[in-house]
Structure 1
Amino acid sequence: MPPTPDAHAVADAFGLAAPTGPLVPVRHVSSETWRLDTLRGRYFVKRLVFGDWRDQLEKAMAVELRARAAGLPTPLPVAPIDPAWGLAADLGDGCGVLRVHAWLDGAPLAPGTDLSHWYGTTLAALHSLQPAGPQRIDSMWPLWYGVYPPGTWDDWLATGLRQERPWAPLLKERLPLITDLAARIEAAYDEVGDYVLTHRDVVPHNVLMATGGGPVLIDWDGAGPDSATLETAAAVFDHARHTTTGDPDPARIASALATYRDHGGDLRPCGFLLARRLGVHLARCAERIRTSLGRETGGSPDPADADARTARQLAALPEFSSLLLDWSRRMG
């Protein structure tokens, strides 16, 4: 793990007042994040270890700024004095670049909270910002749809069997199903054709209930081209499952989709409306396989944990895919 950035260096890079102490770690998922307290306010600091993702991240920053300018509920970004690129500053420590936002006091979205109207209006506003143009996918697309080049899953399986990974026999059993589902996912994406530049990760854990305000959509680093229809269906379905029981709430789905349409959203006909939601399931499984094999360190740095989570997701795949196919018919 890289060392924690120096608070004074961060403040200087972003033109902030003097810090009152060192950076304080906050929730860490796939990126390191901290709280920075200064004499004139509090800020959220995030490290981006971008590798081959610089182009996509820079474009995501542009989507974020466009959304904020249009009045969507987003955190306030802080521009660096001397940008390395986009809204990122390089401290010269060789540990990636940093982003800063004004701090938002608030709480995660609690299960049971009904934000159907907010989901409908926010997604409709997002999808009116900008068409994707000729770039209907980018290199981040597999992270949302779980579709990989031919032979990729076979390679992971062969390596997993050689390394005697506990999930490998289950992957061998599930491989025909994965191949079939990936083809259906890709066909659905080709079918709808309504590609826009959007957030791409409108899920409950990216909705912050700001103190004294309404819901705020956070974490725009994955923004890019997507299908408006498939993103809407996936986001609304996840919201409908964010209940105390975990079962989809049909009333939430109906309300959110009606609000989406009422505010100008166009939910196009599709044979597999929840293709994107299934793609996320496959993509997370692939991420954990790569972690288990030592090919990726982000998100789940513990290979043993990745082994267990991979096995659970592969085991759940037949039932979960059937659930999504059934709800696709009901939502359509």
Structure 2
Amino acid sequence: MVTRDGSALIKHVAAEDWLDDFARAMDFEQLALSVGISMARPIPPLVEPMNHDNGPARKRLGFAAAIEGIGWVRAYDWVDGEPLGDGDDVAAWLGETLARLHQLTPTADASRPPDWYRMDRPEMWHGWLNDGQRDGRSWAALLRLHMTDVLEAAGWVARSFTAAGDYVVTHRDVEPWNVMMTGGGPVLIDWDVAGADSASLEAAHATLEFSRRGRTAPDPAAVRRTFEAYVGAGGTPFGGPDVLARRAGLRLGRLAERLRMSLGDQDLGPRELAAVERRAAEQIAEMPAFLAALRNYRL
């Protein structure tokens, strides 16, 4: 959108069911902005703050405004840049940025961890299996075959998060697709799900994902530069056999979403049912090898 004050990006956030978490995410975003993290600058709405009592309808929450007929909407100064390319070297920037984020709120309450750390509920997976078999879903036979592998992965993820203990408030979605390359360097975008996480598990996950861009395996040199930049900027060294458990948790979370979509318990949105079910089947079949690769890899 072009306004008299310049260009802006307008974004709808379907946050009606998680407003408290959304508000906390924007509080952290404000903190990161105040210390100069390279990020898209949010534009505060020109409406009255929301009322937490039984008064007028909510109109504003942090950087978001409620628009009748649309929902919660945010605006950002336009970022004049391009999506991160496979050849863009951001290893040092990534390590330094993660370390700075993890020092903003170095202790956090992890009594409500992100969903991807809470997939270790056998009754949940067996419920989906029973429903899938009842409805004749294409992935049901594979889930029955690999149920032990899925539950093993979910248990490993939950145990690793508990053992990590280094809970901070952070961005929680530091992925290559959330970085824009500009004339002034990389910019981190999309802060809506910021919240509590493990510093070491997030740092390891991001290090691996950014070093895999355009490659079949992580780039050891990029991994080393990110790790050195993270520690050099004050981050605690990370490593060990459980440090990539977060990636398994995210895979399980996406699989769970696909199963819910297949069973009609979650909206498909723009996705095609056949594609959702095909990818669910692939993820189930890949689980043993995927889990072994994560446990065997050393950063």
**Deviation at residue 174 of structure 1 after TM alignment:** 1.6
1:7-50 Cα offsets, whole Å, 9 max, x none, are xxxxxxxxxxxxxxxxxxxxxxxxxxxxx122331111111122
| Distance (Å, rounded) in 2 between the aligned partners of 1:224 and 1:80 | 22
CA contact (8 A) 1:120 1:258 kept: yes
Q: For residues 109 and 268 of structure 1, do their structure 2 counterparts lie closer, same or farther at Cα, with a shift above 3 Å needed?
A: closer
| Distance (Å, rounded) in 1 between the aligned partners of 2:200 and 2:284 | 27
**Deviation at residue 234 of structure 1 after TM alignment:** 0.3
Q: Unpaired runs of 5+ in structure 1?
A: 1-35
Correspondence 1:284 to 2:240: no
Q: Which residue of 2 aligns with 1:98?
A: 73
Q: Which residue of 2 aligns with 1:30?
A: none
Q: For residues 314 and 299 of structure 1, do their structure 2 counterparts lie closer, same or farther at Cα, with a shift above 3 Å needed?
A: farther
| Distance (Å, rounded) in 2 between the aligned partners of 1:115 and 1:256 | 8
User: TM-score, structure 2 length as denominator?
Assistant: 0.91
**Deviation at residue 100 of structure 1 after TM alignment:** 0.7
CA contact (8 A) 2:172 2:202 kept: yes
Range that drifts further, 145-154 or 164-173: 145-154
Q: Which of these residues, 114, 117, 121, is aligned with residue 145 of structure 1? A: 117
Correspondence 1:53 to 2:31: no
Q: Which of these residues, 113, 131, 136, is aligned with residue 164 of structure 1? A: 136
Q: Which residue of 2 aligns with 1:110?
A: 85
What letter matches 2:197 in structure 1? D
| Distance (Å, rounded) in 1 between the aligned partners of 2:233 and 2:6 | 36
CA contact (8 A) 2:168 2:197 kept: yes
CA contact (8 A) 1:192 1:269 kept: no
**Deviation at residue 146 of structure 1 after TM alignment:** 5.7
Range that drifts further, 230-239 or 249-258: 249-258
Cα-Cα RMSD: 1.7
**How many residue pairs get matched?**
288
Q: Which residue of 2 aligns with 1:197?
A: 169
CA contact (8 A) 1:291 1:300 kept: no
What letter matches 2:103 in structure 1? S
SS of the residue aligned with 2:73? strand
CA contact (8 A) 1:240 1:249 kept: yes
**Deviation at residue 315 of structure 1 after TM alignment:** 2.1
**Deviation at residue 300 of structure 1 after TM alignment:** 5.8
Correspondence 1:239 to 2:213: no
Q: How does 1:1-332 map to 2 (within 5 A)?
A: 36-82=1-47, 83=49, 84-93=60-69, 95-133=70-108, 135-138=109-112, 141-142=114-115, 144-145=116-117, 147-210=119-182, 212-243=183-214, 245-268=215-238, 270-297=240-267, 301-327=271-297, 330-331=298-299
What letter matches 1:52 in structure 2? D
* Bigger relative CO (Cα 8 Å, ≥ 6 apart): 2
CA contact (8 A) 1:288 1:300 kept: no
Q: For residues 50 and 202 of structure 1, do their structure 2 counterparts lie closer, same or farther at Cα, with a shift above 3 Å needed?
A: same
**Deviation at residue 88 of structure 1 after TM alignment:** 1.2
Which ranges of 4 or more aligned residues in structure 1 deviate by more than 6 Å? none
| Distance (Å, rounded) in 1 between the aligned partners of 2:159 and 2:229 | 27
CA contact (8 A) 2:122 2:151 kept: no
| Distance (Å, rounded) in 1 between the aligned partners of 2:178 and 2:269 | 15
| Distance (Å, rounded) in 2 between the aligned partners of 1:138 and 1:66 | 21
Q: Percent identity?
A: 39
1:270-317 Cα offsets, whole Å, 9 max, x none, are 440100011111111111111111212266643222112212222222
CA contact (8 A) 1:188 1:270 kept: no
| Distance (Å, rounded) in 2 between the aligned partners of 1:86 and 1:251 | 40
**Deviation at residue 228 of structure 1 after TM alignment:** 0.3
| Distance (Å, rounded) in 2 between the aligned partners of 1:101 and 1:321 | 39
Q: Unpaired runs of 5+ in structure 2?
A: 50-59
User: TM-score, structure 1 length as denominator?
Assistant: 0.82
What letter matches 1:322 in structure 2? A
What letter matches 2:161 in structure 1? Y
| Distance (Å, rounded) in 2 between the aligned partners of 1:325 and 1:299 | 34
Range that drifts further, 112-121 or 55-64: 112-121
What letter matches 1:278 in structure 2? A
What letter matches 2:204 in structure 1? A
SS of the residue aligned with 1:99? strand
What letter matches 2:220 in structure 1? P
1:166-213 Cα offsets, whole Å, 9 max, x none, are 111111112111111111111111111100000011110111112x22
CA contact (8 A) 1:191 1:270 kept: no
| Distance (Å, rounded) in 2 between the aligned partners of 1:317 and 1:263 | 35
| Distance (Å, rounded) in 1 between the aligned partners of 2:150 and 2:250 | 13
